[in-house]
Amino acid sequence: MTQLTMAKAINEGLRRAMADDPKVLVMGEDIGKLGGVFRITDGLLDQFGAQRVVDTPLAEAGIMGTAVGLAFRGYRPVVEIQFDGFVYPAFDQIVCQVAKLHYRTRGNVTMPITIRIPWAGGVGAAEHHSESPEAYFVHTSGLRVIAVSNPQDAYVMLRQAIASNDPVVFFEPKRLYHTKGEVDLDVDLADAPPMGLARVAREGSDVTLLTYGSQVMTALDAATAAEDDGVSIEVIDLRSISPVDYRTVTASVRKTGRVVVTHEAAREAGVGAELIASVTERCFNYLEAAPQRVTGHDIPYPPAKLEKHHLPDLDRILDAVDRVMDRPNSLTGVEL
């Protein structure tokens, strides 16, 4: 085990995947000499050369579309989208081509493309640099969508994503890039839990708190705070938001009978809406309170000085916990 930041863990994941398979190449803007704006690809150019560490023109559709062609040719491109809000120009290539070519060709053409996206807010960034577009991709059949929350998962699941014959949208929370954790770099991928499995990040008995990626740390803090209030929260880190591991989720909900979902993305038709609908379908008879969402507001991502009012924090999560526990809360007496 080694103490690594998430950024370094991802760097190591890329390095080892490239060393293991000559068909793996990385491509994106500024990923060569600069090592990427977050330095995630640091050192890869020196080690693997410009044929496998491809500094591309500044064109997201171009990066994604050429990755499709490389995949046609048998390569396994790992694409870096520089910031979450820059993925939209590549959206057509992702949802119409990357996601559908396997289906369109009845399995003859595979698209083993990993789309790495430095993701979400909380780092005081400029406009278009803090967004949470995951619901668009979760809604698109043919894609797998991963959101990691710690260095070990980032390392293992990135390697699993690259090894997968399916396209994977891989969200990396920017605000966790520099958090450290234990990483087993020599983990046997064959023995590691499959990429789609959720993780019980903290056990509890009163409330199931479902979350992923950037919000896992906040959720764990909320669980610790709730304990002082006598409420036991089970935190589930979904890790994969397409597919969702509903076995783990429903086992928890049947135990606790109460559900809170939290994510940074806006509420309307978000991942939280899907989670609650699915949990309600499966566990309605176990529920003792209406499930609650704690999300970003339905607004464009606000200016950096205001983002703390947008991002779900510990207090907003605890407020929702009070709602499912039928304690006094911000909605007490409010007609919705």
Partner 1 sequence: MTMTHTLTPTAEPATDTEDVARLLTPDGQRISDPDLERWVTDVDSSVLQSLYRDMVLVRRVDTEGVALQRQGQLGLWAPCQGQEGVQVGTARAFRADDFVFPSYREIGVNLVRGAKPADFVLAWRGEEHSTYNPYDINTATPQIIIGAQALHAVGYAMGIQRDGTDQASAAYFGDGATSQGDVNEAMIFASSFRSPVVFVCTNNQWAISEPVTVQAKFPIAGRAPGFGIPSMRVDGNDVLACLAAMRWALDNARNGIGPAFIEAVTYRMGPHTTSDDPTRYRDKEEVELWKGRDPIARVEALLRAEGAFSDEFAAQVAADADALGAEVRAAALGATSREPIGVLDHVYAEPHSGLEEQRAWFGAYLDGFGTDSEEAAR
Can 129 be counted among the known catalytic residues? Answer: yes
Applying CB under 8 A, the site for partner 1 has a residue count of: 49
Q: Tell me: does residue 193 bind partner 1 (CB under 8 A).
A: no
Q: Which amino acid is at 58?
A: L
Cβ neighbours of residue 145 under 8 Å, at least 6 residues apart? Answer: 134, 137, 138, 168, 169, 171, 240, 241, 242
Q: Tell me: does residue 154 bind partner 1 (CB under 8 A).
A: no
Q: Give the active site residue among 129, 139, 309, 310.
A: 129
Contacting residue, 2, 39, 62, 91, with partner 1 by CB under 8 A:
62
Q: Tell me: does residue 142 bind partner 1 (CB under 8 A).
A: yes
Contacting residue, 4, 9, 25, 265, with partner 1 by CB under 8 A:
25
Contacting residue, 6, 26, 87, 101, with partner 1 by CB under 8 A:
101
By beta-carbon proximity to partner 1, the closer residue of 69 and 303 is 69
Q: Tell me: does residue 97 bind partner 1 (CB under 8 A).
A: yes
Q: Under rule CB under 8 A, which residues in 280-319 are in contact with partner 1?
A: none
Beta strand 114-119 with 76-80 is: parallel
Question: Least distance from C-beta 104 to partner 1, angstroms?
Answer: 4
Q: Which amino acid is at 222?
A: A
- Segment near partner 1 (CB under 8 A); pick from 1-9, 30-38, 103-111, 118-126: 103-111
Question: Least distance from C-beta 205 to partner 1, angstroms?
Answer: 26
Asked if omega into 243 is within 30° of 0 (cis), the reply is yes
Q: Tell me: does residue 104 bind partner 1 (CB under 8 A).
A: yes
Where do the DSSP E strands lie in the chain? 2-5, 24-28, 53-55, 76-80, 114-119, 144-147, 168-173, 180-183, 199-202, 207-211, 233-237, 240-242, 259-266, 292-296
Q: Phi first, then psi: give them for residue 207, nearest 5 degrees.
A: -140, 135
Cβ neighbours of residue 84 under 8 Å, at least 6 residues apart? Answer: 117, 118, 119, 120, 128, 129, 130, 131, 132, 133, 171
Catalytically active residues, by annotation: 129
Site of interaction with partner 1 (CB under 8 A): 25, 51-52, 54, 56-57, 59, 61-62, 64-75, 89, 92-93, 96-97, 101-110, 112, 141-142, 144, 164-166, 196, 242-246
